[in-house]
Structure formats: structure tokens, C-alpha cells
Amino acid sequence: QVQLVESGGGSVQAGGSLRLSCAASGYTYVCMAWFRQAPGKEREGVAAIDNYGSTNYADSVKGRFTIYRDSAKNTLNLQMNSLKPEDTAIYYCAADRSGLAKGGWLTCGINYSYEYNYWGQGTQVTVSS
């Protein structure tokens, strides 16, 4: 049975840090990613990583967020530093088993959420100014 369970969300002041974790079960996934959705906005990709460790980041988080995975434990993490109020959102862990999100590219994509067929329940991140 596939399960993605996020943890680590919370409230922090601007400039602070949080680390999100996602415990995955069921399969070994080619791509894993973090998406987020702020109130009144569409879901957007934040970062992705393939099973070789190749990463991909949204421009808005480059240099501040780091995605990494522990393949032995089948966990996905997102270290978020220098947080800004605009990072406030529900953060979702997503996994792609087939490799659709990678296609022929060197990294996993974050532009199309439909490429990820397994999703966690989400964890709230709130950054206050």
C-alpha cells in the first residue's frame, strides 16, 4: 500500500528555518518532489529529486531550500532556510513511480503535478513577518 506521510511543518518568523520530512512506503520512486499551495493560488512545484540525487528547484526557492532523500529509509526531506512570508502554504510530498516526471530529461520536473501519481496529505508552513 502506498503511503506518503509528511511531518515537520509549523510556524516560524521570517528568516527562520524548517525541515519537512516525508516517509514513503510502497515502492521505490523514480522522482520525489515537494509542491505547495497557498490560499487562493494554484499548486506549484517547489523542488524535485530523482533516484540518483539529481535535483531541480523553483527559482523562488533556489539558494534557500535543499531537497534530499534517504533511499535506504525511503524518506524525502526539504530543508528550508531564510523563510519568507510568501513561502506560507500547505506543502505536499509527491512521488512518481514510473518516471513520467523525468521523461528524457536529466532531472525530475516540477511544472506539472499530474506527473506525480502519489501524494501526501500535506503539512502547513506559516511564515510571519
- pLDDT of amino acid 72: 84
8-state DSSP, 111: S
List of E strands, 38-121: 44-50, 55-57, 65-70, 75-80, 89-96, 118-119
Beta-sheet pairing, 123-128 with 10-13: parallel
The predicted model gives 65-85 an average pLDDT of 95
Query: Which DSSP symbol is given to 115?
Result: G
Give pLDDT tens digits for 6-49: 999 999 999 999 999 999 988 889 999 999 999 999 999 999 99
Average pLDDT estimate for 111-121: 95
